[in-house]
Homo-oligomer: A and B are copies of this chain.
Amino acid sequence: MAVEVVYRSSRDLERLFMDKAEADRHDKMLELAEALASALQNAAPTLSEKQADDLGIFMARHRELFARAFKNNPEALAELPALEKN
């Protein structure tokens, strides 16, 4: 047995990473997901909190594709997986 360093995002205390860079990526993904969920819920108040959270996470996980879509290439979204499993 020995003491070891693990990393986690303060936004998700349950998920531990051995690699700091991975923890960092997870934190950045969650930061974007939260910002998106709150923006979407403002835009469509009928959205449930769970729907807004799910959409935020989904989009943040595929941020490169959405970045391309918003920049100038909507067809990039065709590369999204057909059904997202959480």
Contact in complex: A35, B70 (CB < 8 Å) = no
The answer to whether A47 has its CB under 8 Å from any CB of chain B is yes
How many copies of this chain does the complex contain? 2
The answer to whether A10 has its CB under 8 Å from any CB of chain B is no
Interface size on A, residues (CB 8 A): 33
Contact in complex: B35, A44 (CB < 8 Å) = no
List of 5 A-B pairs having minimum Cβ-Cβ separation, nearest first = A67-B70, A35-B74, A43-B58, A39-B77, A32-B74
Add 19 more A-B contacts to A32-B74, A35-B74, A47-B55 (CB < 8 A): A34-B74, A35-B69, A35-B75, A36-B77, A40-B58, A42-B82, A42-B83, A43-B54, A43-B58, A43-B59, A43-B80, A44-B51, A44-B54, A44-B58, A47-B51, A66-B66, A66-B70, A67-B67, A70-B70
